[in-house]
């Protein structure tokens, strides 16, 4: 199932950018503006946020809508395809909450 050039690699490549799953997960409740996203996801710079959103759009997982207002407003949201990735992302998050300390302890022992 996991030969180097097979489809599963696509999923891992998607997650090879740490911010990808974080942003997908943060968008699970609905559309959000870049400023909202930066508030919810501490530690992400405007530049990295923009790059990540563009990358997720390129993969068809996120879309955006522009509102002709003054000042102009843009909102990002998950596509239907993006939503399908949430359960796998949640499984990873749950794993981290259950076993994160074990990994940190292993890292300490390895030092």
| Sites of contact with a copy of itself (CB under 8 A) | 1-5, 7-18, 21-22, 25-26, 40-44, 57-61, 81, 84-85, 87-88, 91-107, 109-110
Nearer to a copy of itself, 12 or 70 (CB): 12
Least distance between a copy of itself and beta carbon 38 (Å): 10
Q: Is 53 exposed, middle or buried (0-12, 13-18, 19+ CB in 10 A)?
A: buried
Nearer to a copy of itself, 57 or 75 (CB): 57
How many alpha carbons fall within 13 Å on the CB side of residue 2?
A: 4
Nearer to a copy of itself, 46 or 100 (CB): 100
> How many Cβ atoms sit within 10 Å of the Cβ of residue 40?
15
The length of the chain, given as a count of residues? 111
Least distance between a copy of itself and beta carbon 72 (Å): 23
In the block, residue with structure tokens 């530690």? 43
Least distance between a copy of itself and beta carbon 77 (Å): 15
Structure tokens at 18: 């740490």
Least distance between a copy of itself and beta carbon 67 (Å): 23
Residue 63 has φ and ψ, to the nearest 5°, of -135, 170
């Amino acid at each position: 199932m996991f030969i180097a050039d097979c489809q599963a690699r696509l999923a891992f490549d998607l997650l090879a950018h740490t911010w990808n799953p974080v942003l997908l997960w943060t968008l699970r409740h609905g559309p959000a503006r870049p400023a909202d996203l930066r508030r919810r996801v501490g530690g992400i710079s405007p530049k990295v946020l923009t790059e990540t959103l563009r990358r997720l759009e390129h993969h068809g997982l996120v879309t955006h809508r522009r509102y002709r207002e003054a000042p102009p407003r843009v909102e990002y949201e998950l596509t239907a395809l993006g939503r399908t990735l949430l359960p796998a992302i949640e499984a990873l998050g749950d794993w981290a909450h259950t076993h994160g300390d074990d990994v940190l302890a292993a890292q300490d022992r390895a030092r």
